[in-house]
Amino acid sequence: MDSPQRFWDVGAVTALLVALAQGKLRLQTAKDAYSTVAAIDKRRRPDAPPD
C-alpha cells in the first residue's frame, strides 16, 4: 500500500489543501490540480519520476 509509485502522497495533498484553504491557489481545471500536486510532490521527493 505504501509504494514509492503512489502519486497522491498524503503530505502533497495536505499541502495542496492548505494552499487552497488559504486562497493561495485558484484551480481552474483538473489538469491544474494534477500539475500543482505533481510540483509539490517533486519538491518533497526530488527523486520522483518526471511527468
Domain boundaries along the sequence of the chain: 10-44
Q: How confident is the prediction for the chain on average, in pLDDT?
A: 70
Residue that wins the pLDDT comparison between 26 and 18: 18
pLDDT for residue 3: 58
CB 14 within 8 A of CB 44: no
DSSP-assigned states of every residue in 1-51:
---TT-SS-HHHHHHHHHHHHTT-----SHHHHHHHHHHHHHHH-TTSPP-
Share of the chain above pLDDT 90, in %: 0
Residue 30's pLDDT is: 67
Q: 30-44 vs 10-21: helix axis angle to the nearest 10?
A: 120
Return the pLDDT at 13: 80
pLDDT given for residue 21 in this prediction: 77
